[in-house]
Amino acid sequence: MSKKIGFIGLGIMGKPMARNLLKAGYTLNVYSRSQPPMEELKRDGATLGASPKEVAAASEVVITMLPNSPDVEAVVLGANGVLEGTKSGTILADMSTISPLVSQKIYEAAKKKGVKALDAPVSGGEKGAIEGILSIMVGGDSEVYEAAVPIFQVMGKTITYMGPAGAGGFTKLANQVIVAINLTAIGEALTLGAKAGLDPQRLIQALSGGMAGSRCLDMKGPQITKGNFQPGFTVDLHYKDLGLIMEAARALQVPLPTTAVVQELFSALRVKGRGALDHSAVITLLEDLAGAKARTKS
Ligand code: NAD
């Protein structure tokens, strides 16, 4: 597999993912909108590109890790974008969470230039990115997926081929339905416990050993009881995903009534000025309603 990788988008997720590729011995050309993470990656051994086009021209595989669909469209299809710089045969793996319909559009545009596009969104959060243990769900042509697996294995532990272009994105949206509803359920349960006078830490301990246990409860429960809502994954980004989910659900004629309610709760969090908090902060709205807080007394 090729050694020259271009990495575009060095945020909470992209920076540690790029670092892991450097550590694994790949040659990295990077570009991001803000300068500080570029400088950090330069110190780690990456070469800085002046534009997505320049990064793409120097790479055999290009990875994008950007906030949303318009960002990926601009970086890949726009002026000075990836497709202006790529050679035929380049693999383009977009690992952002975006609309699967946009992923399909990018796949078609790339194909016209002989570029092989994969949609490969991830789950596992910042911790999973740092430790290289993300779950990566991939859509696109199966032989392209096979060629990219060694690179995905540097960043993730569970790598799953889901089907044609867009299939990775639909899988990620299904993932985000479960996470958003689960965090809201945890918020309701812990708030109920708080009002009943239960110790939140013991409540989490009791719940996590039974049917109510989940990765969300294990990862977020202890943070919630400390009142630590530093992201992680922001309310704003999960609200973006809830919009993508409802858009896809309407296109496919799938009613998602519970997700729709949770989307409104996330909207309310943003109205309250809590969009930059971790998505587990959905509990704060429920606590406001109940007049009780699920915090461990220190
Ligand atoms: P982030 O906002 O921290 O990082 C995005 C990066 O992209 C920033 O460095 C920004 O400067 C850069 N960027 C934005 N527009 C750009 C442009 N036009 N050109 C170049 N760079 C540009 O976001 P993140 O948390 O790293 O998330 C990235 C993607 O991964 C999102 O789609 C998100 O939904 C998804 N995701 C995030 C997490 C998480 O826990 N944070 C987990 C799974 C998936």
**Span 182-235, pLDDT tens digits:** 999 999 999 999 999 999 999 999 999 999 999 999 999 999 999 999 998 999
Using CA positions, which residue lies closest to atom 3 of ligand 1?
A: 11
Q: Please say whether the structural domain 171-290 has been given the CATH code 1.10.1040.10.
A: yes
- Please work out whether the CB of residue 242 comes within 6 Å of at least one atom of ligand 1: no
pLDDT band at 3 (very low <50, low <70, confident <90, very high): confident
**Beta strand pairing status for 116-119 and 122-123?**
unpaired
Q: Which atom of ligand 1 is nearest to the CA of 134?
A: 43
Alpha-carbon gap, residue 197 to 286, rounded angstroms: 16
Check if 4-163 and 171-290 are the same fold.
Answer: no
Given this model, what pLDDT does residue 2 score?
57
Question: 3-class DSSP state for residue 221?
Answer: helix
CA 100, 97, 150 angle in degrees (round to 5)? 95
Name 75's bridge partners. Answer: none
- 81-140 pLDDT, tens digit per residue, is 999 999 999 999 999 999 999 999 999 999 999 999 999 999 999 999 999 999 999 999
- Please work out whether the CB of residue 34 comes within 6 Å of at least one atom of ligand 1: yes
Q: Is the dihedral of CA 199, 205, 209, 212 positive or negative?
A: positive
- Please work out whether the CB of residue 16 comes within 6 Å of at least one atom of ligand 1: no
- Please work out whether the CB of residue 33 comes within 6 Å of at least one atom of ligand 1: yes
Which residues have C-beta within 8 Å of that of residue 231, sequence separation ≥ 6?
12, 126, 276, 277, 278, 279
Catalytic residues: 172
Alpha-carbon gap, residue 80 to 45, rounded angstroms: 24
The fold of the 4-163 domain, in CATH, is Rossmann fold (3.40.50)
Other beta carbons within 10 angstroms of residue 253's beta carbon come to 6
Listed by start position, the domains of the chain span: 4-163, 171-290
pTM of the model: 0.95
Q: Are 64 and 49 in contact (CB under 8 A)?
A: no
Alpha-carbon gap, residue 277 to 46, rounded angstroms: 31
